[in-house]
Amino acid sequence: MPEGDAVLRTARALNRGLAGQVLRRTDFRVPQLATTDLSGGTVLTTETRGKHLLTRIDHRTGEWTLHTHLKMEGSWRVLDVGRRWPKPGFQARVVLGTETTEAVGFLLGTVELLPRDQEHAAFDHLGPDILADSWDPDEALRRLLRQPGRTLFEALRDQTNLAGIGTIYAAETCFIAGVSPLRQVADATERLPAMLQRTRELMKAEWSRSRRMWVYGRRACRRCGGTVSLARVGPAGQERPAYFCTFCQR
């Protein structure tokens, strides 16, 4: 699943292509919005809350927010009008077209249209957004410590604690801190503030684009060369892969 930094890059691409532009065509290919037409509306901006995308549109029918989430397989592509889509049409869930640009959302996990004054319903449950200017590390720490017996891996990925971190950054954050992702939150209380700060710096630097991971998805640790261990962590049916080096992480 794309993490907070990848979602932020998606928002920037949508803003470059759509912000301030009048929609000449809209096509919502989900049952609940099949008859919705926002053509003639103006796209104001696309913002993020953690992994959620909020595209605000002013239309004669009202002030709307298109809430989308990429989940595991979703993506947005911003293309010149007339350019061939990079994925088959049956995978498209949303099409927003201006005079010169088409933004196509493929395999989006969430698509809903909310009145602007109700958009908060999409993200009220989230903890502080680690990439936001309003990032509140003290509140994030408070939420993490509510369940001291959870593994660090689960706690860092829990979007109600802090929004934006997924499987990749949960693993890499723990590696950089030298702590096993299987350790309990209570065992890393003193390290957590520095871990969060370092993760925020890495994500804002778009570090994951280089894909030079220390342990995530690797067979050998990039630091010591030892074998990377893999554990499946999480509730039954919702397990996620936690990569770690047993030599570099304790």
Active site residues: 2-3, 51, 240
Question: Across-strand partners of 65?
Answer: 56, 114
What are the CA-CA distances from residue 189 to residues 147, 159, 233 (Å)? 12, 19, 20
CA distance 214 to 207: 12
Return the DSSP state at 15: H
What are the CA-CA distances from residue 107 to residues 29, 63, 88, 91 (Å)? 10, 25, 10, 5
Long-range CB contact pairs, 232-239, < 8 A, 24+: 233/151, 233/153, 233/154, 233/181, 233/182, 234/154
Please give the structure tokens belonging to residue 78. 């911003």
